[in-house]
Amino acid sequence: MSRKLPASSPLKDPAYKAAVVDVLGLIAYSELTAFGRMSVDAKLAPTLSDVVALSRMAVDELAHYGLLEARLIELDVDPAEAMAPFVEAVEKFQEQTRPADFLEGLVKVYVGDGIAADFFGEIAGLLDRETAAIVREAISAVGVESYIVDTVRAAIEADFSVQGRLALWARRLVGEALSQAQRVAVDRSQLSSLIASSGDGMDLTEVTRMLARITEGHTARVAALGLGANS
Amino acid sequence: MSRKLPASSPLKDPAYKAAVVDVLGLIAYSELTAFGRMSVDAKLAPTLSDVVALSRMAVDELAHYGLLEARLIELDVDPAEAMAPFVEAVEKFQEQTRPADFLEGLVKVYVGDGIAADFFGEIAGLLDRETAAIVREAISAVGVESYIVDTVRAAIEADFSVQGRLALWARRLVGEALSQAQRVAVDRSQLSSLIASSGDGMDLTEVTRMLARITEGHTARVAALGLGANS
């Protein structure tokens, strides 16, 4: 059921609402995909307790999806319709970055979801308070981080050749993510203008700063995994 | 934390407890696998709302797994150890029955999980009340049944050649399930003696009746899907 929006709600502005629906749809489909991917990758885990732990994290991703779905319904938008414009880009990314083994899957979750969460977190800063809170909760970590760091570092310690392969893999993930992000930016002008607008959005300096922050976060994650230039 | 068992608990009998641990471990691994399989199959669903609905049912399977895990921990048993003896048989079954498309996946859930649930339901009748209640809750339906029946029937209506193919598939599922069940029965004598024992278990007549009931349930499910001999 749709709630009455207060007269002062920024969501009364159709252009802003279209951008919000795009943000929610994009993150929702990313979470839904994360659920599917993590539950598949879970099967590759080395022990049954790992399988269970990773499966439960997949379930948390679906719960995150539920938050975004609820917000879309509240805004009188069909969640499937909101997600539809992003299916191709997300699936293309998944297809181009199919992990060859369990370790590549873990790096993909850590590096890929990390950069996506940072990006969506920046977007949240441009949204009305209520939507922003939902986005922030939906992109919050599912508790898999320290498990991934420990597992990847242990694998590198056991066999150093793993390091170069996974470092290359992390770079490829970012390259593919950027190329799909570019595609989405071109296709969805309301989303791009939310980010780079002369009004309440960011100007070019702000966008540059945002990209610098995201790059910084990525570099820190790669280093945490022991895949940095100085590792 | 392990609870103190009452002095009168049948779980004080090591042979009975070993059988219970086997039952819980087997069902737990089946549910964990069902989670993984349903979340993969969900991706093949024709619409995004179907993907979401099936993903949520997968999550329910993992919740079922949680019930069994909790009972095992209560009995001071490591869930991973309890499941380990059944990994090979369950995986072999999965491997031999990989669905070629979404419809085969649905029939597998309905027919395969149906026959397994009937079998485990029969076993529950041989267990102490507390364990039996947990088993019954863990095998309860996740609400996917009417969706599967409707989807399979609609597909047959749209293209009758689907009927023969899926009927054959249902028969193959049962054949593979039986051959893995046989393997488990040979490997795990405590489980077999729970079923066919001269004491509190079933005698040969009871076992025959049980198999007849399970066959009956299977025939009804195949008919519900429109895959029966008289469809």
**Residue of chain B with shortest Cα separation from A50:** B80
- pLDDT at A198 (0 to 100): 47
Q: Is the pLDDT of residue B140 over 60?
A: yes
In this prediction, residue B3 has a pLDDT band, given cuts at 50, 70 and 90, of: low
The position carrying tokens 């039986």 is B178
More confident site: A194 or B90: B90
Average pLDDT over residues B181-195: 81
C-alpha dist (Å) from residue A112 to A20, A34, A69, A115, B72 = 22, 10, 22, 5, 36
Cα distance from B160 to chain A (closest Cα, Å)? Answer: 30
pTM: 0.85
Percent of chain B surpassing pLDDT 90? 56
Interface test with B, best of A32, A43, A67, A87 (most B CBs within 10 A): A43
Cα distance from A30 to chain B (closest Cα, Å)? Answer: 13
Query: For A52, which of B32, B48, B87 is closest by C-beta distance?
Result: B32
Q: Is the pLDDT of residue B227 over 80?
A: yes
Cα distance from A7 to chain B (closest Cα, Å)? Answer: 32
Nearest CA to B30 out of B56, B1, B67 is that of B67
- pLDDT at B28 (0 to 100): 96
Q: Which residues of B touch A54 (CB under 8 A)?
A: none
Instruction: Report residue B62 as tokens.
Output: 């993992």
- pLDDT at B209 (0 to 100): 86
CA atoms of B6 and A185, how far apart (whole Å): 65
In this prediction, residue B163 has a pLDDT band, given cuts at 50, 70 and 90, of: very high
In this prediction, residue B1 has a pLDDT band, given cuts at 50, 70 and 90, of: very low
| Cβ <8 Å between B43 and A65 | no
Q: Which residues of B touch A59 (CB under 8 A)?
A: 59, 62
- pLDDT at B137 (0 to 100): 94
Cα distance from B62 to chain A (closest Cα, Å)? Answer: 8
Q: Which residues of A touch B48 (CB under 8 A)?
A: 29, 32, 79-80, 83-84, 87
**Residue of chain B with shortest Cα separation from A49:** B80
Q: Which residues of A touch B105 (CB under 8 A)?
A: none
Whether residue B111 contacts residue B221, with contact meaning beta carbons closer than 8 Å, is answered with: yes
Helix residue ranges per DSSP H, A45-160:
48-74, 79-96, 102-107, 113-124, 129-138, 145-158
pLDDT tens, chain A, 231 aa long: 445 666 678 888 888 999 999 999 999 999 999 999 889 888 888 899 889 988 998 999 999 999 999 999 999 999 999 999 999 999 999 899 989 989 999 999 999 989 999 999 999 988 999 999 999 999 988 778 888 999 999 999 999 999 999 999 999 999 998 888 888 888 888 887 777 764 555 677 888 888 889 999 999 999 999 998 766
In this prediction, residue B111 has a pLDDT band, given cuts at 50, 70 and 90, of: very high
Q: Which residues of B touch A51 (CB under 8 A)?
A: 32, 36
Q: Quick check: ipTM above 0.95?
A: no
Q: Specify the 3-state DSSP secondary structure of A228.
A: coil
Nearest CA to B81 out of B72, B70, B68, B89 is that of B72
